[in-house]
Amino acid sequence: MTSPKPEETLKVALVQMCSGRDPDCNTADASALVREAAQSGAQYVLTPEVTNVMEIDREALFTAAEPENENRALRSFQNLAEELGIWLHIGSLAVRKTKDRLANRSYLISPHGSIAAQYDKLHMFDVSLANGETYAESDNYEAGSEAIVASTPWGGLGLTICYDLRFPYLFRALAQGGAKMISVPAAFTRPTGEAHWHTLLRARAIETQCFVFAAAQTGTHEHGRKTYGHSLIVSPWGEILAEAGDDPTVISADIDLSQVDVVRSRVPSLVSNRHFMLVADPELLQTN
């Protein structure tokens, strides 16, 4: 029995949020924006990273981050997807795995309310910025170990989260694994967003020749940190099809997946692979 031919067109919507410390409030805020997106005709809706809670206090974070099998936000979003009959992609939830470890986990929910795919963020955001901000995601979260390409009615969807954006080999692997679309739910800081957000997203779209969907957190959060916003939908040719500003909102675009094949036929870089051996001074390698 042959598989049904993938549909070629869909309407994509991205939800941009300013999540706070209360998971119930965040779930309600996200749900209202998801409903708005569905009412506009969106068939696939993506929310940002850590949709359920933005928290820097460890004790409060672990209290808010419920285990998957008890996660009220996840159950609520599953019911919402089924009610609206849409593919609802929760960019990520903070989910408690053990007493002292969390997962930063993305959930793709089918129109039947079932979890079609899930992905744990691979690359932890452990950085010190020039403005004095420091982040140590690995203090609380356990990194994932699998790259995921999910099946949808429109073809393969590669799953990533935020800091993964800086690792192009992951995106290339997703494209070579069958992705025609790649999701990048994020909570980019204001300084790094202003410097790199647009450039990185357009570069990943051009390199992979995929549509890229990047739903973002935005604004000043209850804990005081600021995120950049500017959710983007980018074509496989690197064109920005839709962009949000600085406020919570919904953006959308009509997507024609046939454009992926058109672009890949123009520049067949995904199949023009050359194996090589790196030659470098050992002392240079030791400094990295």
Q: How far apart are CA 122 and CA 242, in angstroms?
A: 27
The b-or-e profile of 85-101 (16+ CB within 10 A means b, else e) is: ebbbbbbbbbbbeeeee
Residue 49's CB is within 10 A of a number of other CB atoms, namely 28
The CA R_g of the chain, rounded to the nearest whole Å, is 19
* 97 part of the active site: no
Marked catalytic residue, from 49, 55, 66, 180: 49
Annotated catalytic residue: which of 18, 55, 162, 180?
Answer: 162
Rounded Cα distance between 132 and 153, Å, is: 45
- Relative orientation angle of helices 190-208 and 168-176, to the nearest 10 degrees: 30
User: Is position 18 annotated as part of the catalytic site?
Assistant: no
Q: Where do we find the tokens 């800086």? A: 166
Largest CA distance in the chain: 60
* Known active-site residue 162: yes
Inter-residue contact 194 to 200 (CB < 8 Å): no
Q: Which of 55, 66, 121, 180 is catalytic?
A: 121
- Rounded CA-CA distance 112/84 in Å is 10
Q: Write out the catalytic residue numbers.
A: 49, 121, 162
